[in-house]
Amino acid sequence: MSESPPPLAGVRILDLSRLLPGGACTRLLADLGAEIIKVERPEVGDDVRHEHPMLADGVSAVHQFLDAGKRSVALDLKDPADVAVALDLAARCDAVLESFRPGVAARLGIGPEEVAARNPAAVYVSLTGYGQDGPRAPAAGHDLDYCAYAGALSTVGTPDGTPAMSGVLTADMTGGTLAATAILAGIVRARTSGVGGHVDVALQEAAHWALALPTAQHLVDGSGWEPGRGMLNGALPCYRLYRCGDDLYLAVAALEKRFWARLVELLDRDDVVERRADPAVGEELAALFVTRPRAEWLALLEDEDTCVAPVNTLAEAVADPHLTARQVLVDVAGDGWEQRQPGCPVRFRDQQVSRQPAPGLGADDAWARALAAEEG
């Protein structure tokens, strides 16, 4: 059976965004077959081009991951002539993504109204920190700020109330995924109504979305999910982290009764099968797990229906045999370098995703200007 075309073949997106959230959005859409025209500042480009580590001769690994297979067009959006080119490109695209602070794109002359005047069916997505309105809308921020405002940082840390920073960029990656969802939803609507519309995606609200379960519970009973006290962040013996005898950790997620029953059976602790929510049981299991190294516990528990997993380092995670079997990581090669990258997490089983290296800054300028000049 021949391979099917990519699901987003024929979809073209003009990406005016910078940095991680917008880059992650169009990274996902590019993997699914969309043509991404990335607009960058002349001579400088997107800041991700300069992020370490470097693969070779100043080639950024971050840039290669985010921008592999996209097109690069260098335009100065403070120059009316270049804005006119960007608007001509928008007229030939299904969607436009931007990440300026509210009002900036309109002042530059490439806001939602200007794009709609040229292409009413274009979906215009504004991906910003705090949204298009509200008292915080003009403020600068990054993932840590959005997660702090959203309450996400109050759920991680130590039970004494000391918050912790996470290496998971919750707002940025969730926001990028929501922006991709908005683009696809808008394209579906535009193909039936002819109207793309302006979509407002805020990264603080993306963090709220990732925190939806504890927030929904708080709105009912006032609970706070402080570290070690929430249903899924340490309060339950059946759902917490346990230190082993070699100072490595296990993640125990035996939330349902059948998984908990199997776990305590294998631990020879059938006496606590009805006490999976009793904090005292958590301390008893903590004293048990610390008596043996993690590998021994995994040999006993990992292949059983116990929902027990190792707390892997990144080195262990990328070497996970399961991910290797599923070919989760993809290889990209350029001039004098090779890189292994996270692959697309959305899999159409009849399509094999491959990536080409990211383009040089302005590599598609001539192509883009020819496209912009086309009639029709």
Assess whether 172 carries a catalytic annotation. Answer: yes
Residues 6+ apart with CB under 8 A from 178: 201, 206, 209
Q: How far apart are CA 350 and CA 2, in angstroms?
A: 8
Is residue 179 within 8 A of residue 125, CB to CB? The reply is: yes
Q: Which of 47, 172, 305, 331 is catalytic?
A: 172
Strand partners, 157: 163
Task: Burial-class residue 223 by CB neighbours within 10 Å (0-12, 13-18, 19+).
Answer: middle
- Per-residue three-class SS string for 261-286: HHHHHHCCCHHHCCCCCCHHHHHHHH
In one letter, which amino acid is 103?
G
Is residue 85 within 8 A of residue 368, CB to CB? The reply is: yes
Question: Is the peptide bond between 53 and the residue preceding it cis, with omega within 30 degrees of 0?
Answer: yes
Q: Kindly tell me the sign of the dihedral angle through the C-alpha atoms of 96, 100, 102, 106.
A: negative
Closest CA to 186 of 283, 108, 120: 120
Question: Could you tell me the two tokens for 318?
Answer: 């990328």
Active-site amino acid positions: 172
